[in-house]
Structure 1
């Protein structure tokens, strides 16, 4: 079983090639490149020969892109459950209907451009188009690295045709709007809104917060668990930086104590209380449902008469009020759990400009 050597990137690589006869007696060569060692190539060749003899061999040249990307995602390890579910939806709804039936080795740059245009014509958000684009591009990079394709169609894309990353919309309430909201809002889980605005916590972090994560003596909240739409309660948060401790104001501690008294009373009155130690929960102790959360939030805001913003924008409200008050961006980054201070500065650049202006005036006053 001969294994052949060739050079790639200045380093030796290997491929196998052997002849077989199809059902009609016609000769064909089965060949695969991209192996870094002879042993790896020999094992792959042996497996290919066995598959051919059993009639289960699949010619790589006939594998469709739709078949390949599904198999590629299934074997991809560095993907969270939530992201995997989202990617499966993108493949089913946006990718495969357009380019899924094309053989992997025959996908052209025109097909990629068609995919992008199709998504844009459907009115998908810039963020979704970008995510789908990145998913397909990463898949093709893997295929190229494994030498399943000779040319990567993404290498031929013109710069202007690539979807550009759009800056996420940042909306937030003013100080007056926050005060008006809290003066009018009525809900048994009002503490949810308090934690979002005063602590900048994400929705999943708030709904996964446990009483044991709160130190009432030191006024510290530890973020270590979250509630996800598909996974439910999980240990862990969005990013490594999300694991953090937040020092909270006396008002927040006071509101948490009031809320705890209500939860304890509900627990005493319930015959079937499911204790998950959650701060924010349903009257029976179970996690809050995320199925209709946006609709629920819209009803809450409508009742107060305050201008509508997304629940996630309460987090932006926290950051904007802190930065407007002169809080150092590094502190805001740590409090919100951003992966880096660059994320904070990029997201709230319109506010940091004001801080720079104030700093310039302060320096001038010092040196006068």
Structure 2
């Protein structure tokens, strides 16, 4: 039985107050009450609540928590599960800078689909589309965590999406073959002995930067000519398992890489973790040093760089009065280069997925689908020319 009745009372300051009280029975058979200032609000709420009770998705306000509290529970679960430090830092940023200021004081039971759609619009207005998507996914994950704990019966945020505009689909940056050749030649001539084997593995095996930094010698099979990924180093230089189950993989290496690795193994400093590319201190090399020092120097030597300019368009100079140069590519761009080389050689998409360590073939096609299309077109062109000349 449900009812709405007007009630009056005297406030502590002696003033008379009136309100509208909703009496209803929830799906568990418990009697509940909720009070509103206006009857119109009470009517609207009861209509929604009555439907939720019939669907088994109603949660009384007294049995729920705020989004801020739910976010805290979500972050703590990630800490217990020992998620990557960079992942936890990103989640914490989403919560502190965007979610809590926007809706942290709102109780989970009070969230409606229109409300969640409005939050999506707010995020889109002040953030880039990719960041808005990430924050919205975090909000949905927060509500999902609370739902699993019984603080809310449904997750209305899960159905709210940020549509990716096709024209905004990010394109991967891939070094040209001429640039890759120049980089390998510069790496071979570098005074940094690890530069050449590092460039070879980055370009031919497509390992992530974290996987290169955490790569141990036991995972290099010099006889079979393969590199196996079974661990990585996070942003805090802590060795751990790969990014996902798909991260465990074995990738073939060309003879040039094996030859360079054999020579480097004789000169490589020993480290506690038996790393292929240890730091000067014989520990895990930082991402900044590997990407911004070793590979940056190689690219600058190979003329794969940009000159930094000031606001007035003039070159920015360093302390030696020389123009400041920055590398054109990151370690991740060499990962794309590896995929493009495999695809050009007609490697099966599933094998490309495996070697790249992608969790699904969809990720591979979303990232490199245009390259597969180009490879198919090139093959068709060759076949057409053959038909014309040979028959």
Q: 1:95 maps to which residue? A: 99
What's 1:164 paired with?
164
TM-score relative to the length of structure 1:
0.71
Aligned length: 308
Q: Distance in 2 between matches of 1:275 and 1:145?
A: 42
* Contact 1:175–1:321, Cα closer than 8 Å, also in 2: no
SS at match of 1:241: helix
1:94–1:163 CA distance, 2 compared to 1 (3 A): farther
Q: Are residues 217 and 106 of structure 1, via their aligned partners in 2, closer, same or farther at CA, if it must alter by over 3 Å?
A: same
- Within the alignment, does 1:341 sit opposite 2:379 as a pair? no
Instruction: Sort the Cα spacing of 1:275 and 1:358 in 2 relative to 1 into closer, same or farther, 3 A.
Output: same
Consecutive unaligned residues of structure 2, counting only runs of 5 or more, are: 1-25, 33-52, 306-327
Of 187, 210, 216, which residue of structure 2 is paired with 1:210?
Answer: 216
Aligned to 1:198, what secondary structure does the other structure show?
helix
Residue 140 of structure 1: how far off its partner (Å): 2.8
CA contact (8 A) 1:129 1:163 kept: no
Distance in 1 (CA, whole Å) between partners of 2:206 and 2:200 is 9
- Partners in 2 of 1:154 and 1:258 — Cα distance? 55
State yes or no: 1:275 paired with 2:272. yes
Cα RMSD for the two superposed structures: 3.5
In 1, the alpha carbon distance for the partners of 2:150 and 2:222 equals: 58
Partners of 2:249 and 2:298 lie apart in 1 by 29
Please tell me whether residue 138 in structure 1 is matched to residue 138 in structure 2.
no
1:177 to 2:189 alignment? no
- Residue deviations 1:266-316 (CA, integer Å, cap 9, x gap): 45xxxxxx4320001113321102356654455553443214122201010
Larger radius of gyration: 2
Indicate the residue corresponding to 2:204 in structure 1. 198
TM-score (normalised: structure 2): 0.67
> Is the 8 Å Cα contact of residues 65 and 101 (structure 1) preserved in structure 2?
yes
CA distance in 2, matches of 1:356, 1:333: 18
Indicate the residue corresponding to 1:116 in structure 2: 120
Supply the distance in 2 between the matched residues of 1:80 and 1:337 (Cα, whole angstroms): 18
Alpha-carbon offset, residue 113 of structure 1: 4.1
- Structure 1 unaligned residues grouped into runs of 5+: 1-12, 20-32, 37-57, 268-273
Q: Secondary structure at the match of 1:348?
A: helix
Whole-angstrom CA distance in 2 between matches of 1:230 and 1:114: 37
Structure 1 pair 363–340 and aligned structure 2 pair: CA distance change class (3 A): farther
Partners of 1:363 and 1:328 in 2: CA distance: 19
